[in-house]
Amino acid sequence: MSRYRGPCLKKIRQLGALPGLTTKSPKDPKDRRNQSGSWKKSQYRIRLEEKQKLRFHYGLTERQLLKYVRLAGKAKGPTGQILLQLLEMRLDNILFRLGMAPTIPGARQLVNHRHILVNGRIIDIPSYRCKPQDTITAKDDGKSKVLIKNSLDSSPHAKLPNHLTLDPVQYKGFVNQIIDSKWVGLKINELLVVEYYSRQT
């Protein structure tokens, strides 16, 4: 299944807030789920929606998300937490959380167009997994810095998570540590995502 390129607000109305997908918000703040009256969702649908929320927020294809779930399942520790850590430590997500890009698709474009350096090397793979002590900077040319400056100036971002540090003057970000689950940028029940995939196999 390919990456979603359809209307973003439609997905927000279906799934709730997806800050990584778009900066837009619905004109009608009422949640579709509150208008459903006595209609009750099945357990399958609840798990499916949590999985879709994860997928659309981080801008993943179905195949990519399944790969991350399998990777998390092989690691030591709670699968759900490790899954979120793997997704949050992606380069495109780190750029978004630092405020260097307005959305995760915007961050992906910055990386694809070779505007971003990690530890002094150009990285053009959005899924690159950042590690503690990594330094993320704009390429040393005018266009790269202008794009990042515009994002930093355009709208005040939420409080920076404690695993990241930003130097807005130098257009530089630092990864201090692996993210703690309480700083994940999405309200999600990751256990339901793991359950969804465990029942598919």
- Give domain status of residue 1, yes or no: no
Residue 18: which pLDDT band, with cuts at 50, 70 and 90? low
Q: What is the pLDDT of residue 28?
A: 54
pTM, rounded to two decimals:
0.83
In whole angstroms, give the CA distance from residue 97 to residue 116: 15
- Give domain status of residue 137, yes or no: yes
- Give domain status of residue 3, yes or no: no
Max Cα-Cα span within the chain: 57
Domain holding 53: CATH number? Answer: 1.10.1050.10
Domain hosting 36: range is 8-86+184-200
* 117 and 142 both lie in a single domain: yes
Q: What is the pLDDT of residue 11?
A: 60
Domain holding 170: CATH number? Answer: 3.10.290.10
* 66 and 122 both lie in a single domain: no
Q: Which tokens in the block code for residue 176? A: 């201090």
* 121 and 100 both lie in a single domain: yes
- Average pLDDT of the segment spanning 36-57: 81
- Average pLDDT of the segment spanning 141-148: 85
* 19 and 68 both lie in a single domain: yes
Query: How many domains in the chain?
Result: 2
* 19 and 76 both lie in a single domain: yes
* 68 and 137 both lie in a single domain: no
- Give domain status of residue 2, yes or no: no
Sheet holding 116-118, edge to edge: 121-122, 116-118, 135-138, 172-175, 164-167
Convert 82-103 to b/e letters by CB count within 10 Å (16 or more is b). Answer: bbbbbbbbbbbbbbbbbbbbbb
